Amino acid sequence: MNTTTHLDPSLPESGKTLSTLRQIGKTPSLLIGIIMFAILILLALFIPYLSPYQPSEQNLSAFLQPPSSAHWLGTDQLGRDLFTRLLYAARTDLTIMILAEIIPFCTGVMLGMISGYYGKWTDRIISLITDTFIAFPFYLIVIIVAFASGAGERGIYITFILVGWIVFARVVRGLSASFRKQEWIASAQTLGLPGIRIILRHLLPNVLPQAVVVLMTDMIGLLVAIVTLGYLGIGIAPPTPDWGTMISDGQPFITTAWWLSAVPGFAVVYTGIALSLLGDGLADIWRKK
Amino acid sequence: MELALQVQDLTVRYGGFTALDHIRLELEQHTTLGLVGESGSGKSTLARVIAGLIAPDEGQILLGSEELRKKRSKEQHKQIQMIFQNPDASLNPRHTVRQILAEALLFHRIVDRSQVGRRSTELLDRVQLEARSLDKYPHEFSGGQRQRIAIARALSVEPSLLIADEPTSALDVSVQRSVLELFHTLRTELHLTMLFISHDLGVIHAVSDTVAVMRQGKLVEVNTKDEFFIRPKHEYSRELLSAVPKMPR
């Protein structure tokens, strides 16, 4: 193949990926966000091979040890290796964080587009539902659902399916309503395209970037919620490792072994920073386009 | 001559404001009607009603002998295509030219999927754009080029009526001229029936066979082009014509 064709920006695929990579390289926040998040994910994925310990393996003769070469981050009150536990907890918490966002993201984006595109009574009904749910504090709903369905992951999933879509619906509704007045939507209507096709093929690619940026921020909020619930004892149930329960388990030893609570706390902050850098970076790239 | 479009007593109200007041208009096949009037006179509203983007409160629209109702069939949608004023907003920013043209061609089954590429190239050729524009996004083009793409999209489904709503107003004068020339070529080569809206009488003079003048939602004069520019019937038309700045000789 002729090598010059690769340099032509009008050519699809190869040229496109290249320019995308170049753009990521030019956006430091995105690059740092990707690297930070990738390190966390890779460590969590490969922790069974990286650590000789099991997350719930107790060793009562070596409890509350400070960091050492055998235990990089020390051990807790039951002699469990903190580093191992921290990354197994990352598996739990990040999996829930990502899975719990899927359905709310899809429904929120869809409802937002429908609401903004059709306007009128469709919009009024969807906005009414949105406003009703907003009136209830998130944690109140989580606690009610947790009591009704039992503590643990299920409560988080159910609650998030109930209320998680709202933030996406609101952002996407606003965007869709403004795009709706644009002439490219009118051209699609003049062609006679059905509403659902205009929504999926024309609106969706235009609202998606902004929705993904919101998703990044929302995931941070969800992670904090998962950890808070774990801390309160109505989230992930022990012995499954989770950052929230780790923070609360370490609390009685805060004066003698402060790292027990500080390390999982730092992990939450680290993940939050990684995700917000990712979100900011994506927003930067899409704004330039 | 056969009539391509008839508009009868078309009325559109927004609350207490009457945007279109009992408009009656006829458009012969293979001719261009130039619609003039100042901003807010209802020109664009009329265009959007005919294109089916706004439902009228009263009145009838006949395309050929067929009445266009509020819910139009796919075929009726295909028959009327529109080109909008703002070239920055008339193309989906996230679709390539190829996607834009292919969607129209495939949705109305103008050609088979295997022929889409060839037809798209032909369409671009019609509007004097190169085939390598196909995989570019709208932001990679100038305003005039984008307007050409919009014209190609409108022509792709072979409509019987083309509405152009101030298609050159947002363009630089030199670009305006080349787009007008394109309209002229298309008109003679494809025997298009066009409703051409502009507030610029020079543009109207260049493209129209018949001229209609709108003011405050009413149609005040319909006349042949030559008659209109030499002996306008209505007082308001005379005012419009006398307001055109003249070049010093």
Using one digit for the tens of pLDDT, what is the confidence trace for B41-100? 889 999 999 999 999 999 999 998 888 888 889 999 999 999 998 888 889 999 999 999
Which residue from A minimizes the CA distance to B164? Answer: A187
Q: Is the residue at B108 inside a domain?
A: yes
Does residue A229 contact residue A222 with C-beta atoms inside 8 Å? no
CATH number, residue B19:
3.40.50.300
Residue showing tokens 């609650």:
A159
ipTM for the predicted complex: 0.90
Whole-number Å distance between alpha carbons of B6 and B10: 10
Hey, what amino acid is at A48?
P
Confidence band of A4 (pLDDT split at 50, 70, 90): very low
Whole-number Å distance between alpha carbons of B247 and B249: 6
Residue A10 has pLDDT above 80, yes or no: no
Handedness of CA A177, A178, A184, A186 (dihedral sign): positive
Residue A233 has pLDDT above 90, yes or no: no
Confidence band of A173 (pLDDT split at 50, 70, 90): very high
How many Cα atoms occupy the beta-carbon half-sphere of A234 within 13 Å? 19
C-beta atoms of A206 and B108 within 8 A: no
Q: Is the residue at B84 inside a domain?
A: yes
Which residue from A minimizes the CA distance to B93? Answer: A206
| pLDDT at A6 (0 to 100) | 39
For residue B164, the Cα-to-chain-centroid distance in whole angstroms is 2
Q: Does A120 touch chain B (CB under 8 A)?
A: no
Cβ-based neighbour number of residue A50 at 10 Å: 12
Name the packing angle between helices B116-126 and B143-156 (round to 10°).
Answer: 130
| pLDDT at B88 (0 to 100) | 85
CB contact burial B172-206 (16+ within 10 A = b; e otherwise): eeebbeebbebbeebbeeeebbbbbbbbbbebbbb
C-beta atoms of B157 and A191 within 8 A: yes
Q: Which residues contact A264 (CB under 8 A, 6 or more apart)?
A: A86, A89, A227, A243, A244, A246, A247, A250
| pLDDT at A13 (0 to 100) | 52
DSSP assignment of B196-247, as one string? Answer: EE-S-HHHHHHH-SEEEEEETTEEEEEEEHHHHHHS--SHHHHHHHHTSPPP
Residue B214: both structure tokens together: 């709108």
Looking at per-residue confidence, does B181 or A146 come out higher? B181
| pLDDT at B138 (0 to 100) | 92
Confidence band of A106 (pLDDT split at 50, 70, 90): very high
Residue B122 has pLDDT above 60, yes or no: yes
Whole-number Å distance between alpha carbons of B35 and B212: 5
Residue B248 has pLDDT above 80, yes or no: no
Which stretches within chain B are classed as H helix? Answer: 43-51, 74-79, 97-107, 116-126, 143-156, 173-190, 201-207, 225-230, 235-242
Substitution target in A4, A10, A178, A191 with the highest count of B β-carbons within 10 Å is A191
Residue B243: both structure tokens together: 């307001």
Kindly state the helix (H) or strand (E) to which residue A277 belongs, with its residue range. helix A259-288
CB contact burial B83-121 (16+ within 10 A = b; e otherwise): bbbbbebbbbebbbbbbbbbbbbebbebbeeeebbebbb
Provide the 8-state DSSP code for B129: -
Of A59-63, B11-15, B180-184, the poorest mean pLDDT is in A59-63
A191 contacts on B by Cβ (under 8 Å): 77-78, 81, 103-104, 107-108, 157
Residue A5 has pLDDT above 70, yes or no: no
A103, A70, A105: which is closest to A84 by C-alpha?
A70
A187 contacts on B by Cβ (under 8 Å): 82, 84, 90-91, 150, 153
Across A62-90, average pLDDT:
82
Q: Give the pairing type, strands B66-67 and B58-63.
A: antiparallel
Residue showing tokens 């508009």:
B7
| pLDDT at A118 (0 to 100) | 94
| pLDDT at B1 (0 to 100) | 66
Residue showing tokens 């003011």:
B215
| pLDDT at A2 (0 to 100) | 40
Q: Give the pairing type, strands B194-197 and B161-165.
A: parallel
Q: Is the residue at B249 inside a domain?
A: no
Does residue B10 contact residue B22 with C-beta atoms inside 8 Å? yes
| pLDDT at A103 (0 to 100) | 94
Residue A3 has pLDDT above 60, yes or no: no
Give me the phi and psi of B112, to 5 degrees please.
Answer: -70, 160
B197, B141, A175: which is closest to A185 by C-alpha?
A175
Whole-number Å distance between alpha carbons of A184 and B86: 10
Distances from the Cα of B127 to the Cαs of A41, A204, B155, in angstroms? 51, 29, 10
Residue A289 has pLDDT above 80, yes or no: no
Residue A7 has pLDDT above 70, yes or no: no
* Radius of gyration of the CA atoms of chain A, in A: 23
Does residue A102 contact residue A158 with C-beta atoms inside 8 Å? no
Comparing CB atoms, the residue among A10, A184, A201 nearest residue B91 is: A184
Residue A59 has pLDDT above 50, yes or no: yes
Q: Does A10 touch chain B (CB under 8 A)?
A: yes
Q: Is the residue at B248 inside a domain?
A: no
Whole-number Å distance between alpha carbons of B122 and A116: 37
Confidence band of A110 (pLDDT split at 50, 70, 90): very high
Pick the CATH number of A80-288 from 1.10.1040.10, 3.30.1280.10, 1.10.3720.10, 3.40.50.2300: 1.10.3720.10
Does residue B173 contact residue B93 with C-beta atoms inside 8 Å? no
Residue B205 has pLDDT above 60, yes or no: yes
Across A57-70, average pLDDT:
78
Q: Give the pairing type, strands B66-67 and B32-36.
A: unpaired
Confidence band of A15 (pLDDT split at 50, 70, 90): low
C-beta atoms of A186 and B72 within 8 A: no
Name the packing angle between helices A259-288 and A243-250 (round to 10°).
Answer: 150
Of A44-53, A224-233, B89-98, the poorest mean pLDDT is in A44-53
| pLDDT at A149 (0 to 100) | 78
Confidence band of A75 (pLDDT split at 50, 70, 90): confident
Give me the residues of A, 185-204, that contact B with CB < 8 A.
186-193, 201-202
Comparing CB atoms, the residue among A11, A193, A202 nearest residue B107 is: A193
Distances from the Cα of A182 to the Cαs of A20, A174, B81, B84, B86, in angstroms? 27, 13, 16, 10, 9
Whole-number Å distance between alpha carbons of B20 and B48: 11
C-beta atoms of A186 and B84 within 8 A: yes
Q: Is the residue at B118 inside a domain?
A: yes
Residue showing tokens 């580093």:
A83
Whole-number Å distance between alpha carbons of B83 and A186: 10
| pLDDT at A16 (0 to 100) | 67
| pLDDT at A105 (0 to 100) | 96
pTM above 0.90, yes or no: no
Of A231-240, B6-15, B207-216, B238-247, the poorest mean pLDDT is in B238-247
Q: Which domain range does residue B40 map to?
A: 3-242
Cβ-based neighbour number of residue B223 at 10 Å: 18
Comparing CB atoms, the residue among A182, A187, A192 nearest residue B74 is: A192
Q: Give residue limits of the domains in chain A.
A: 80-288
Residue A27 has pLDDT above 80, yes or no: yes
Partnered with residue B33 across adjacent β-strands are: B195, B210
| pLDDT at A14 (0 to 100) | 56
Please, what is the average pLDDT of chain A?
86
Distance from CA of A159 to the nearest CA of B (A): 34
Give me the number of domains chain B comprises. 1
| pLDDT at B249 (0 to 100) | 62
What are the strands of the beta sheet with B58-63, ordered from one edge?
Answer: B17-28, B3-14, B58-63, B66-67
Cβ-based neighbour number of residue B122 at 10 Å: 14
What is the number of CB-based contacts under 8 A between chain A and chain B? Answer: 67
